[in-house]
Structure 1
Amino acid sequence: MQRYEYHVVPAPRRGEKARGVKTIEDRFALALTTLMNELGAQGWDYVRADALPVDERAGFTGTKTTFQNMLVFRRPLKTLGEDLPERPATRIFTPEVPATAPKLGPAEVPVGPAPIVGPAKPNLAAE
């Protein structure tokens, strides 16, 4: 069974200017072609394009959902005796999980009686 590693990059948002490339569509196609050829030279195969939702901040407390266009590439994982182009080192986060769940003891008993709470006192300074 072949195993793969994946690489996801944002799709270009603007086209590239070049001599003889005049229309917006042609400029965008040039930007996309350049990106795909660069990744192809590194051994990545194009798989698909996806529009994925992203939650962003809107104001102080709100959020809004936008969509980002992403390009998905893959390449076979390196096996023994096979040479693939070098890739930058990536660090994978693996949280440490304890072998057993910690034992919980009884809840702490409050020390002394609870304080006596009376009616609120009027604020004389505000009047």
Structure 2
Amino acid sequence: MQRFEFKVIPAPKRGEKARGVKTTEERFALALTSLMNQLGAEGWDYVRADTLPCDERVGLTGSKTTFQNLLVFRRVIEPLSVVAPGTTRLLLQEPVPATPRLGPAEAPTPGNAPAVGPAKGLAAE
């Protein structure tokens, strides 16, 4: 089983200037690419980006909620354990109970079937 450690960092808020990179989108993508390549070189795998609320103090008694953009990374801290060839093991799933088998259906009892149609004996309202 693998164990991971996680790293959560704030997403960049500004782009990086570079030769040939002119638009805001290109600069922001460059900043994100540089950050992800730096962390990737350290063994971190990108997992996802999240936006989460954060309560901040304002003045002496006030507070406000802001939203923070975060990047989540992980890396393996314990290698996969060796499993004998030909065996598999699901670790995160509960064992599935065996489905009960049903026997043959019972034969219908001989006789007259009930009449089909509107109910009798009920007064119309």
With the shorter chain as reference, the TM-score category is: 0.5 to 0.7
Q: Does 1:32 align with 2:23?
A: no
Q: Secondary structure at the match of 2:56?
A: strand
Aligned length, in residue pairs: 80
Unmatched tracts of structure 1, length 5 or more: 80-127
State which structure, 1 or 2, has the greater radius of gyration over its C-alpha atoms: 2
* CA distance in 2: counterparts of 1:21 and 1:60, whole angstroms: 44
Match of 1:124 in 2: none
* CA distance in 2: counterparts of 1:51 and 1:9, whole angstroms: 12
* CA distance in 2: counterparts of 1:60 and 1:22, whole angstroms: 43
TM-score (norm 2): 0.62
Unmatched tracts of structure 2, length 5 or more: 80-125
Match of 2:15 in 1: 15
Offset, 1:58 = 1.2
1:31-110 equivalences under 5 Å are: 31-79=31-79
Offset, 1:59 = 1.5
Offset, 1:4 = 0.4
Q: Percent identity, aligned pairs only? A: 75
* CA distance in 1: counterparts of 2:62 and 2:43, whole angstroms: 42
Q: CA RMSD in A?
A: 1.3
TM-score (norm 1): 0.61
* CA distance in 1: counterparts of 2:59 and 2:74, whole angstroms: 37
